[in-house]
Amino acid sequence: MSWYQKTIRLQPYPRGFHIITSQIEREMPEIRELKMGTAHIFIMHTSASLSLNENASPDVRTDMEAHFNKMIPENAPYYRHTLEGPDDMPAHIKASLLGSSLMLPIKNGRFYLGTWQGIYLCEHRDHASGRNLVVTLNGE
Amino acid sequence: MSWYQKTIRLQPYPRGFHIITSQIEREMPEIRELKMGTAHIFIMHTSASLSLNENASPDVRTDMEAHFNKMIPENAPYYRHTLEGPDDMPAHIKASLLGSSLMLPIKNGRFYLGTWQGIYLCEHRDHASGRNLVVTLNGE
Amino acid sequence: MSWYQKTIRLQPYPRGFHIITSQIEREMPEIRELKMGTAHIFIMHTSASLSLNENASPDVRTDMEAHFNKMIPENAPYYRHTLEGPDDMPAHIKASLLGSSLMLPIKNGRFYLGTWQGIYLCEHRDHASGRNLVVTLNGE
């Protein structure tokens, strides 16, 4: 029975959806110690989020950004929280819709994902600095 | 290696988004026993949900409510599940979009959250009675 | 302290929302060994998702499908990822909105759910073959 926990600093990413699977794998070599368990990946922010989605066609990431911008527009007339810029309130809404954490199964020392699944950083701000993740592994 | 589990009864809240971080901290003093782990917070209902978002400006909560009401309107012509009132079916949709549980990292006896992150109860019904949460802590 | 992990193959389901609670319970009899813990249910795909919602009225499932189809339409003019058919890109967006995994509390050998909560398979493709789930139980 083992626990591992680490804070990972991501570089600044432009607004949009980005695959970060291999960086997380690289920073958590301890996962190889676990035959069975779970990995919790948590983002410590309220204007960016994490999701799992297709790791192949980059068009999926572009279309996700386009659709979220339409579904949660900037400058909606009912927004009151506008002081930090037009991208701020939509970023908060997107963050709650997509979620602040992922839970992944671990099997035989690796994230046990489907063939097409990759970990997305969903950056909702126009000019974010880097983001902090907390990864917690638990298993045996 | 320790497990703690408790059911928490929340008071009735009006429809909208509400910060409940300090109540959960108060009801789970056992978290202080854990140096590293995870906290699972689960809502036992299908018309309310949990989310993490900004704990500072109350405008964020107001704008979230306004936006969700626009994105998932009452009285959509295609709703069939209307017997329990116009707020009922939108509440179910919002509950699935925002999610029924949160998973938070635990570090040094506390929820390990970002500076601006607070736990939201998202109450989607007009006249809900209190809600039940199940909190499960696991760590070492 | 025990871990159990199993891959479950679901039969093909038509596009829409389907209750699969009893199948998962049937395939995980090991849950009876756990007095307290958590169950992680994970879908290994990027065009289907898991959610918790009402287990009673089938109208809720029909209305969910209707609403998600309106909120994330086929053939949006800004989609570029269209080679795999008009249902494909909406399926990816719905998958991220609803999420790839559920975390449920375990109490006294059972999923500890609210009275009205059921596990939904959300099938977003028109002609999907079966889907794979990974269930990981952890508790004592």
With CB atoms and an 8 Å threshold, state whether C81 touches A66: no
| Residue C8 in contact with partner chain A when CB distance is under 8 A | no
Residue B136 contacts residue B18 (beta carbons within 8 Å)? no
Cα–Cα distance between A3 and A38 in angstroms, integer?
Answer: 10
Sign of CA dihedral A5, A91, A79, A70: negative
Instruction: Tokens for A32, please give them.
Output: 């190889």
ipTM above 0.85, yes or no: yes
Residue C127 contacts residue C22 (beta carbons within 8 Å)? no
Cα–Cα distance between B52 and B27 in angstroms, integer?
Answer: 18
**pLDDT at position C1:** 75
Instruction: Tokens for A22, please give them.
Output: 């291999």
Burial (CB count within 10 angstroms: exposed 0-12, middle 13-18, buried 19+), residue A62: middle
Minimal Cβ distance to C105: which of B72, B97, B136: B136
Report the SS3 class of residue C99. coil
With CB atoms and an 8 Å threshold, state whether C132 touches A114: yes
- Contact list in B for residue C51 (CB cut-off 8 A) is 96
Cα–Cα distance between A95 and B25 in angstroms, integer?
Answer: 23
Q: How far is B96 from chain C (nearest CA, A)?
A: 6
| Residue A108 in contact with partner chain C when CB distance is under 8 A | no
**pLDDT at position A1:** 75
Q: Residue C18: is its pLDDT beyond 90?
A: yes
Q: For residue A129, what pLDDT band results from cuts at 50, 70 and 90?
A: very high
Which tens digit of pLDDT belongs to each residue from C38-91? 999 999 999 999 999 999 999 999 999 999 999 999 999 999 999 999 999 999
Summarize the confidence of residues B11-17 as an average pLDDT.
Answer: 98
Q: Name residues whose C-beta falls within 8 Å of residue A29's C-beta, 6 or more positions apart in sequence.
A: none
Edge to edge, the sheet with strand B16-19 lists B16-19, B117-123, B48-54
Cα–Cα distance between A15 and A134 in angstroms, integer?
Answer: 21
Which residue bears the tokens 């017997």? B83
The H or E element containing residue A32 is none
Sign of CA dihedral B90, B46, A92, C124: negative
Q: Residue A20: is its pLDDT beyond 80?
A: yes
| Residue A121 in contact with partner chain C when CB distance is under 8 A | no
Cα–Cα distance between A45 and A101 in angstroms, integer?
Answer: 11
Q: What is the mean pLDDT of chain B?
A: 98
Half-sphere exposure (Cβ direction) of B33: Cα atoms closer than 13 Å? 12
**pLDDT at position C66:** 98
Cα–Cα distance between C72 and C52 in angstroms, integer?
Answer: 20
> What does pTM read for this prediction?
0.98
Which tens digit of pLDDT belongs to each residue from A67-79? 999 999 999 999 9
| Residue C112 in contact with partner chain B when CB distance is under 8 A | yes
> Within its chain, how far is the Cα of C67 from the centroid?
17
With CB atoms and an 8 Å threshold, state whether B46 touches C116: yes
Please, which residues 19-78 of chain A have a Cβ atom closer than 8 Å to chain B? 40, 42-46, 71-72, 76, 78
Edge to edge, the sheet with strand A36-43 lists A2-10, A131-139, A36-43, A101-107, A110-111
Instruction: Tokens for C63, please give them.
Output: 């209305």
**pLDDT at position B79:** 98
